[in-house]
Amino acid sequence: MTHTLIPDTAREAAPAPADPATPEARRPSGLFQQVSVLARTEFRLFLRYKTALMYLALPGAFLLPFAVMEPTELVPGVLSVHYLLPGTLVAIATTLGLVHPANVLTMRREALVLKRLRVSGVRPAAVHTSMVALVTLLCLVVGAVFLALVGVMADRLPADPVMMALGLLLSSVSMALLGTLISPLVRNGETAQMVSMVPMLGMLVLGGVMIPLDVMPDSLATVLRFLPIAPAVDMLRSGFLGADAFGSIQELHDAGFAELWVNALPAIGVQLFWIAVFAFLAHRFFRWDPRRS
């Protein structure tokens, strides 16, 4: 994949050769044009990358325990399956966002593809944005399918699908940028796959996906809610239930549209903060050349 397909990306995204005497020769391709070309190419390559397709189905394993779970009423009108199932959608963003960018970008760096892109005039922001756009699009599409399965398993329709979509979108962007940051730390694609599993499992365990934060000490749960994943889980649960799930289960209560979105603002702010931090670090420390300076 890397050796035969990516060079086409470099040629398409780079400025087209022109007569040096013309003004067009000195005018580089715009950022939007480069992102558009790279994003389309990323999507084609993803479809040919069989291992990446497995990442789309892997989060389905988190739905299996709920098929045999005996539902219990946590609070009046809310069953355990209603409360826990929506948060599993974050597993899509965590799995795909962390593993795919780390693996693919590392392989391209070692094959000197990223260096060729830089030399040919492709902007770093275009490379990062195209990868984030691919991960986000796939997460939203797969998330819609999984949401339909969640609705069937929970026998309940989501109360606010817009809030759920926003939570999944923000988590997809932050995880894709974090996956990009793994690439400078490893030497090859195989190592990137293994290393990316560590933060992936950490996010799933500490973000409230596999273990609800309510069973953890209050002080620890408060700290974990400032990590990238926990706010997205809270948004998914709140949007699904139409209730304020941004605190402990004992404080869960029905909320109107305006109240729900006002209560979601801190969770949105935390995720935007991490997106800004990861984007800055990716721009500052990303490695384009396999040789370490």
- Provide the whole-model pTM: 0.85
Tens-place pLDDT, residues 57-76: 777 777 777 767 777 877 77
CA separation for the pair 98, 178 (Å, rounded): 6
CA separation for the pair 133, 92 (Å, rounded): 15
> Is residue 149 over pLDDT 60?
yes
Task: Look over the chain and give the mean of its residue pLDDT values, rounded to a whole number.
Answer: 83
Angle formed at CA 129 by CA 125 and CA 131, multiple of 5 degrees: 125
* Range of weakest confidence among 84-93, 128-137, 191-200: 84-93
CA separation for the pair 86, 289 (Å, rounded): 41
CA separation for the pair 212, 78 (Å, rounded): 15
Please give the C-alpha separations between residue 63 and each of 22, 197, 209, in angstroms, as whole numbers.
59, 19, 11
> Is residue 20 over pLDDT 60?
no
> Is residue 19 over pLDDT 60?
no
- What average pLDDT does range 159-166 have in this prediction? 93
pLDDT at 137: 93
pLDDT at 174: 96
Encode 161-220 in three state secondary structure.
HHHHHHHHHHHHHHHHHHHHHHHHHCCCHHHHHHHHHHHHHHHHHHCCCCCCHHHCCHHH
Q: How is residue 86 written in tokens?
A: 């929506």
> Is residue 269 over pLDDT 50?
yes
> Is residue 249 over pLDDT 60?
yes
CA separation for the pair 283, 169 (Å, rounded): 21
pLDDT at 176: 95
> Is residue 83 over pLDDT 80?
yes
pLDDT at 13: 47
Tens-place pLDDT, residues 202-237: 998 888 888 888 888 888 888 999 999 999 999 999
